[in-house]
Amino acid sequence: MFGFKMIAGATALALTAGAVAAETVTVAYFLEWPTANQVAQVNETYQDRMGVDVEWRAFGNGNEMTQAMASGAVDIAFSQGLVPFVVAVSNGLPLELVGVAVSYAEADNCVVHQDAGITQDNAAEALVGQTIATPIGNVTHYKLLRMLDHLGVNTDDVNFVQMNGADAAVALARGDVAIGCAFGGALQRMLEFGAPLMTAAEQEAIGIRVFDVISVTSDFAAEHPELLQTFMDVTDEANMAYSADPGAYVETIAGAAGMDLAATENMLGMFSFPSSADQASEAWLGGTVQTFMKEVADFFVEQGQLDVSLEDYGATVNAAFVN
């Protein structure tokens, strides 16, 4: 089975010194992934408040973000999946989790093609020899493996194909795969051709949590704490403004995400954006996130996807910027 070891090998390199010039900050983000802070992105509030040029660079998955940070091309990864972050720090990359970008469940899932005949009851037998398209090494992949484990599926009997969400949606629509996994707009398109293997509520019932993080290179956090604090403050202000009046900002967010208005409204209805104060609490960076990271890493070691997990993930979380 395709695992994280190939990904780790591609990214297990030293971060370049002086990860950012004071004149420009590069932020990784996803298209077709609408978030409240995109209002500040469009209005150039980040640039104005930080006093530097802010370059927003779109990526296809969280592991690509990791690789860009490892090469020194990106300073901040906004809405990076927790799993790619866990994989990166487990393999020794000097990155720090400094905040929670978005909490979600229904907006990331795996869809069974309507003609595949696969159900939760027969998945252990029906998936033998079948093909599943999924991004590898991200939250989507983690959820998939947890669901298959819960349903008693032997992953050695399944063909896993690495595909980013847009390609997986096409493959599912054509019937090339039995199951396609994706997040955001690609997931919405998949639902036209099938139904989720497990609902968000069913996933939560077996302990699957889904949230994306704000991660940075350790160099950037150490060398430019004022810039990072301002970035976090602007993000929190945008989140609170959206929460107070969502309708006032949806059109702007849709344009930034590259989505139509209806799809954006649908997805935002599945999202929550924790405040900075909430993130500092025990429920998030005050302890729960670190514990969950250890659970995720240990699960992947057990699955043979990761060589080793850290004894403790506390040192990889920097809560100073949400306090």
What string of DSSP letters covers 231-300? Answer: HHHHHHHHHHHHHH-GGGTHHHHHHHHT--HHHHHHHHTT-B---HHHHTSTTTTTTHHHHHHHHHHHHH
Q: What is the pLDDT along the chain (323 residues), one digit of tens a residue?
A: 545 544 455 454 444 444 444 589 999 999 999 999 999 999 999 999 999 999 999 999 999 999 999 999 999 999 999 999 999 999 999 999 999 999 987 889 999 999 999 999 999 999 999 999 999 888 899 999 999 999 999 999 999 999 999 999 999 999 999 999 999 899 999 999 999 999 988 987 887 878 999 999 999 999 999 999 999 999 999 999 999 999 999 999 999 999 999 999 999 998 999 999 999 999 899 999 999 999 999 998 998 889 999 999 999 999 999 97
Tell me, what's the pLDDT at 3?
A: 53
Nearest to 206 by CA among 264, 262, 150: 150
* Whole-angstrom Cα Rg for the chain: 19
Instruction: Give 108-205's CATH code, choosing from 3.30.9.10, 3.40.50.970, 3.40.190.10, 3.20.20.60.
Output: 3.40.190.10
Tell me, what's the pLDDT at 16?
A: 43
Residues 6+ apart with CB under 8 A from 202: none
CATH code 1.10.10.10 for 4-104+210-321:
no
Number of Cα atoms under 13 Å in the Cβ half of residue 238: 26
Tell me, what's the pLDDT at 303?
A: 86
Tell me, what's the pLDDT at 112?
A: 98
Structural domain spans, the chain: 4-104+210-321, 108-205
Please determine whether the domains at 4-104+210-321 and 108-205 fall in the same fold group of CATH. Answer: yes
What gap in Å lies between CA 182 and CA 157, rounded to an integer?
21
What gap in Å lies between CA 27 and CA 40, rounded to an integer?
13
Nearest to 153 by CA among 90, 209, 104, 110: 110
> Residues 105-143, buried b or exposed e (16+ Cβ, 10 A)?
bbbbbbbbbeebebeeeebeebbeebebbbbbbbbbbbb
Tell me, what's the pLDDT at 206?
A: 85
